[in-house]
Amino acid sequence: MKPELSTKKVLLILEVWVGTYTEKFYTEVQETILARYNKTFDSSLKAKMMGKKAIEAARVFVEETGISDVLTAEDFLVEREEMLKTMFPTRASRLIRHLRAKESAWLQDLREQRKAQVLSEHSTSGSHRHHFELKTQRHGELFSLMHHVVLGDDPEVKQGKPSPDIFLAAARRFEVMPL
Protein backbone atom coordinates (compact mmCIF):
# COMPACT_ATOMS: atom_id res chain seq x y z
CA MET A 1 0.00 0.00 0.00
CA LYS A 2 1.33 3.41 -1.01
CA PRO A 3 1.83 5.78 1.94
CA GLU A 4 -0.34 8.89 1.83
CA LEU A 5 1.56 12.05 1.02
CA SER A 6 0.73 15.02 3.19
CA THR A 7 1.05 18.61 2.01
CA LYS A 8 4.08 19.05 4.25
CA LYS A 9 5.77 16.06 2.60
CA VAL A 10 5.01 17.48 -0.84
CA LEU A 11 6.52 20.82 0.11
CA LEU A 12 9.56 19.10 1.55
CA ILE A 13 9.96 17.23 -1.73
CA LEU A 14 9.82 20.55 -3.59
CA GLU A 15 12.32 22.12 -1.19
CA VAL A 16 14.73 19.25 -1.79
CA TRP A 17 14.14 19.54 -5.53
CA VAL A 18 14.92 23.24 -5.70
CA GLY A 19 18.08 22.79 -3.67
CA THR A 20 19.32 19.36 -4.65
CA TYR A 21 17.95 18.38 -8.03
CA THR A 22 19.14 21.57 -9.69
CA GLU A 23 22.54 21.37 -7.98
CA LYS A 24 23.66 18.94 -10.66
CA PHE A 25 23.15 21.68 -13.26
CA TYR A 26 25.69 23.88 -11.48
CA THR A 27 28.07 20.93 -11.33
CA GLU A 28 27.69 20.16 -15.02
CA VAL A 29 28.31 23.78 -16.03
CA GLN A 30 31.31 24.12 -13.74
CA GLU A 31 32.78 20.87 -15.06
CA THR A 32 32.36 22.16 -18.62
CA ILE A 33 34.09 25.44 -17.83
CA LEU A 34 37.00 23.74 -16.08
CA ALA A 35 37.44 21.16 -18.85
CA ARG A 36 38.62 23.99 -21.13
CA TYR A 37 41.55 24.49 -18.75
CA ASN A 38 42.22 20.75 -18.31
CA LYS A 39 40.98 20.95 -14.73
CA THR A 40 38.36 18.91 -12.91
CA PHE A 41 35.52 19.87 -10.62
CA ASP A 42 35.54 17.55 -7.62
CA SER A 43 33.48 17.14 -4.48
CA SER A 44 35.99 18.95 -2.25
CA LEU A 45 35.79 22.07 -4.41
CA LYS A 46 32.01 21.77 -4.57
CA ALA A 47 31.86 21.57 -0.76
CA LYS A 48 33.93 24.75 -0.45
CA MET A 49 31.55 26.60 -2.80
CA MET A 50 28.17 25.37 -1.58
CA GLY A 51 26.06 27.74 0.46
CA LYS A 52 28.11 30.81 -0.35
CA LYS A 53 26.86 33.90 -2.08
CA ALA A 54 27.49 33.70 -5.84
CA ILE A 55 30.51 36.02 -5.96
CA GLU A 56 32.11 34.33 -2.94
CA ALA A 57 31.67 30.89 -4.51
CA ALA A 58 33.03 32.19 -7.82
CA ARG A 59 36.17 33.45 -6.10
CA VAL A 60 36.68 30.05 -4.49
CA PHE A 61 36.15 28.42 -7.88
CA VAL A 62 38.76 30.42 -9.81
CA GLU A 63 41.29 30.58 -6.97
CA GLU A 64 41.15 26.94 -5.88
CA THR A 65 41.43 25.70 -9.46
CA GLY A 66 44.31 28.04 -10.27
CA ILE A 67 42.57 29.73 -13.20
CA SER A 68 42.17 33.17 -11.65
CA ASP A 69 44.86 34.53 -13.99
CA VAL A 70 42.77 33.60 -17.06
CA LEU A 71 39.20 33.85 -15.72
CA THR A 72 37.96 36.33 -13.13
CA ALA A 73 35.24 35.45 -10.67
CA GLU A 74 32.96 37.98 -12.36
CA ASP A 75 33.59 36.54 -15.84
CA PHE A 76 33.01 33.04 -14.50
CA LEU A 77 29.60 34.13 -13.19
CA VAL A 78 28.64 35.67 -16.53
CA GLU A 79 29.64 32.52 -18.42
CA ARG A 80 27.95 30.22 -15.91
CA GLU A 81 24.79 32.32 -16.06
CA GLU A 82 24.53 31.97 -19.83
CA MET A 83 24.84 28.22 -19.61
CA LEU A 84 22.36 27.87 -16.72
CA LYS A 85 19.83 30.10 -18.46
CA THR A 86 19.23 27.37 -21.02
CA MET A 87 19.29 24.48 -18.55
CA PHE A 88 16.94 25.52 -15.75
CA PRO A 89 13.66 26.12 -17.59
CA THR A 90 13.74 22.91 -19.62
CA ARG A 91 15.39 20.32 -17.40
CA ALA A 92 13.89 21.43 -14.09
CA SER A 93 10.44 21.44 -15.65
CA ARG A 94 10.67 17.72 -16.37
CA LEU A 95 10.70 16.85 -12.68
CA ILE A 96 7.80 19.11 -11.77
CA ARG A 97 5.76 17.79 -14.71
CA HIS A 98 6.42 14.30 -13.42
CA LEU A 99 5.35 15.25 -9.90
CA ARG A 100 2.19 16.92 -11.21
CA ALA A 101 1.23 14.01 -13.43
CA LYS A 102 1.83 11.43 -10.74
CA GLU A 103 0.26 13.22 -7.81
CA SER A 104 -2.06 15.93 -9.18
CA ALA A 105 -4.04 15.81 -5.93
CA TRP A 106 -1.13 17.59 -4.23
CA LEU A 107 -1.89 20.85 -5.98
CA GLN A 108 -5.58 20.61 -5.21
CA ASP A 109 -4.77 19.95 -1.56
CA LEU A 110 -2.40 22.92 -1.50
CA ARG A 111 -5.03 25.17 -3.12
CA GLU A 112 -7.67 24.15 -0.60
CA GLN A 113 -5.37 24.71 2.36
CA ARG A 114 -4.26 28.06 1.01
CA LYS A 115 -7.88 29.18 0.62
CA ALA A 116 -8.51 28.14 4.21
CA GLN A 117 -5.36 30.09 5.24
CA VAL A 118 -3.84 27.11 6.99
CA LEU A 119 -0.91 26.65 4.63
CA SER A 120 1.98 28.31 6.41
CA GLU A 121 4.80 26.83 4.40
CA HIS A 122 7.73 28.60 2.87
CA SER A 123 10.63 27.80 0.62
CA THR A 124 14.23 28.78 1.16
CA SER A 125 16.81 28.51 -1.56
CA GLY A 126 20.38 29.71 -1.67
CA SER A 127 19.75 30.57 -5.32
CA HIS A 128 19.45 34.21 -6.20
CA ARG A 129 16.11 35.43 -7.55
CA HIS A 130 17.05 35.16 -11.21
CA HIS A 131 18.04 31.48 -10.96
CA PHE A 132 15.01 30.64 -8.82
CA GLU A 133 12.74 32.25 -11.42
CA LEU A 134 14.43 30.29 -14.22
CA LYS A 135 14.02 27.05 -12.27
CA THR A 136 10.36 27.66 -11.46
CA GLN A 137 9.10 29.88 -14.31
CA ARG A 138 6.72 27.28 -15.68
CA HIS A 139 5.35 26.40 -12.27
CA GLY A 140 4.44 29.71 -10.67
CA GLU A 141 1.09 28.38 -9.46
CA LEU A 142 2.77 25.82 -7.27
CA PHE A 143 5.14 28.26 -5.61
CA SER A 144 2.49 30.99 -5.35
CA LEU A 145 0.66 28.72 -2.92
CA MET A 146 3.46 29.07 -0.40
CA HIS A 147 3.23 31.75 2.24
CA HIS A 148 6.59 33.13 1.13
CA VAL A 149 9.89 32.30 -0.53
CA VAL A 150 13.24 33.56 0.78
CA LEU A 151 16.22 33.44 -1.55
CA GLY A 152 19.96 33.74 -1.16
CA ASP A 153 20.09 37.31 -2.47
CA ASP A 154 17.43 38.56 -0.03
CA PRO A 155 18.71 41.65 1.85
CA GLU A 156 18.09 39.89 5.19
CA VAL A 157 20.40 37.03 4.21
CA LYS A 158 23.87 38.26 5.06
CA GLN A 159 25.60 34.86 4.87
CA GLY A 160 24.77 31.85 2.72
CA LYS A 161 23.95 28.39 3.99
CA PRO A 162 24.85 26.73 6.31
CA SER A 163 24.49 30.00 8.24
CA PRO A 164 20.94 30.20 9.65
CA ASP A 165 20.30 33.65 8.11
CA ILE A 166 17.97 32.40 5.36
CA PHE A 167 15.91 30.28 7.76
CA LEU A 168 15.62 33.07 10.33
CA ALA A 169 14.48 35.48 7.60
CA ALA A 170 11.85 32.95 6.52
CA ALA A 171 10.61 32.50 10.09
CA ARG A 172 10.28 36.27 10.62
CA ARG A 173 7.91 36.55 7.66
CA PHE A 174 5.14 34.49 9.18
CA GLU A 175 2.37 36.48 10.88
CA VAL A 176 2.60 33.98 13.71
CA MET A 177 5.96 32.37 14.36
CA PRO A 178 5.92 28.67 13.42
CA LEU A 179 6.47 26.12 16.16
Q: In whole angstroms, what is the distance from residue 108 CA to residue 10 CA?
A: 12
- The percent of residues above 70 in pLDDT, for the chain, comes to 58
What pLDDT, on the 0 to 100 scale, is given for residue 118? 41
Supply the DSSP symbol for 121. -
Q: In whole angstroms, what is the distance from residue 8 CA to residue 4 CA?
A: 11
Domains of the chain and any CATH numbers:
7-172 (1.10.150.240)
pTM of the model: 0.60
Q: Which of 6-15, 43-52, 60-69, 83-92 has the lowest mean pLDDT?
A: 6-15
> Tell me: the pLDDT tens digits for 28-69?
999 999 999 999 999 999 999 987 888 999 999 999 999 999
Q: State the average pLDDT for the chain.
A: 74
* Contact yes or no for 161/50 (Cβ under 8 A): yes
> Tell me: the pLDDT tens digits for 113-144?
555 444 445 566 667 777 777 777 766 666 66
What pLDDT, on the 0 to 100 scale, is given for residue 78? 95
